[in-house]
Amino acid sequence: MKKLIFVLIVAVIGYQFFMGKQVAAPDLPQQLSLEPYAISSGNLVLVNRDIQLKQDPTNLAPIPADIAENVIVNSEFLLENQAIKPLKLLFDAATNDRIEHFIINSAYRSGKLQQQLYEKHGADYALPSGYSEHQTGLSLDIGSTAGKMENVDEGKWLEEHAADFGFILRYPEDKVDVTGINYEPWHFRYVGLPHSLIMKKQNFVLEEYITFLKKEQFFTTEVNDTTYFIQYTDNETTVNIPDTANYRVSGDNESGFIITSIIE
């Protein structure tokens, strides 16, 4: 085991490139049990036309009707609780930039509602139950009362700044061949920091990012003066991580886990 950890540490020294600053690789003395975590739960679960969500979200909360002064919330929309505070910070930042005409049109959808939409509108409009990101509770549709999102300041601002708050534009115009979904300038997905910023810098959509994580297994990066160690492990019951109490575990909804540790 010690030899394996040493090889891991030596190899990771070469993977410190994302944000352009060299960061020392950490020791990995802490053994973490993955048994309490589900592969189909967490901020980085991948759901698309080919990969079905295997578990419903467990920590949904209503988006406050008064979340920010520049947003209309005209229904009781639900979102995973950990995404609501970053969402408020995002809208507040937009207010500071005088971006003022947002409207939330959709967020969490139950499997029943998703299937109804699919049966009513067909595959060109909706995915069948189990294959929509809206069922994760991590995605929402943000529109503008000023016009279509691809044409208005709200859409342009979100595309530029959403990653600063942990959100990604899930279906960009130049990645249709990867996502299998037409350009949706209104559909934003919470993946959390630092993943959203890494994905933006590398021009990854979620499919590409998960593929990258599986290939590289681990890397160290510094984002906003915080150092992160990100690991991918496939079908393991335990994993060695840095000596920190500040870590998050997400399944990928396929076969493995991503562990994100803050080491500084």
Between 15 and 54, name the one with better pLDDT: 54
Rg of the chain over Cα atoms, rounded to whole angstroms, equals 19
Of 190, 211, 230, which marks where a domain is finished? 190
The residue-averaged pLDDT of 80-98 equals: 98
Of 163, 190, 217, which marks where a domain is finished? 190
Q: Could you list the residue range(s) of the whole structural domain that residue 127 is in? A: 60-190
Based on the fold, state whether residues 209 and 237 are members of the same structural domain: yes
Model pLDDT for residues 18-52, shown as the tens digit of each residue: 555 556 678 999 999 999 999 999 999 999 999 99
Based on the fold, state whether residues 167 and 91 are members of the same structural domain: yes
Based on the fold, state whether residues 81 and 21 are members of the same structural domain: no
Based on the fold, state whether residues 90 and 7 are members of the same structural domain: no
| Closest to 231 (Cα-Cα) out of 21, 15, 40, 22 | 15
- Asked about 69 being catalytic, the answer comes back as no
Q: Which residues contact 198 (CB under 8 A, 6 or more apart)?
A: 18, 204, 209, 221, 223
Q: Is residue 209 part of a domain?
A: yes
Q: Mean pLDDT for the chain?
A: 90
Per-residue confidence at 113, pLDDT binned at 50, 70, 90?
confident
Q: What is the pLDDT of residue 24?
A: 66
Q: What is the pLDDT of residue 135?
A: 96
Based on the fold, state whether residues 128 and 222 are members of the same structural domain: no
The residue-averaged pLDDT of 251-263 equals: 96
Based on the fold, state whether residues 64 and 185 are members of the same structural domain: yes
Between 68 and 15, name the one with better pLDDT: 68
Q: How far apart are CA 132 and CA 57, in angstroms?
A: 13
pLDDT value at 11 more than 60: no
The residue-averaged pLDDT of 139-155 equals: 98
Based on the fold, state whether residues 65 and 185 are members of the same structural domain: yes
Based on the fold, state whether residues 138 and 34 are members of the same structural domain: no
| Closest to 218 (Cα-Cα) out of 257, 254, 191, 168 | 257
Based on the fold, state whether residues 84 and 174 are members of the same structural domain: yes
Report pTM. 0.90
Structural domains in the chain (count): 2
Model pLDDT for residues 47-71, shown as the tens digit of each residue: 999 999 988 898 999 999 999 999 9
Question: Catalytic residue among 184, 207, 208, 254, which?
Answer: 184
Give the CATH number, domain containing residue 109. Answer: 3.30.1380.10
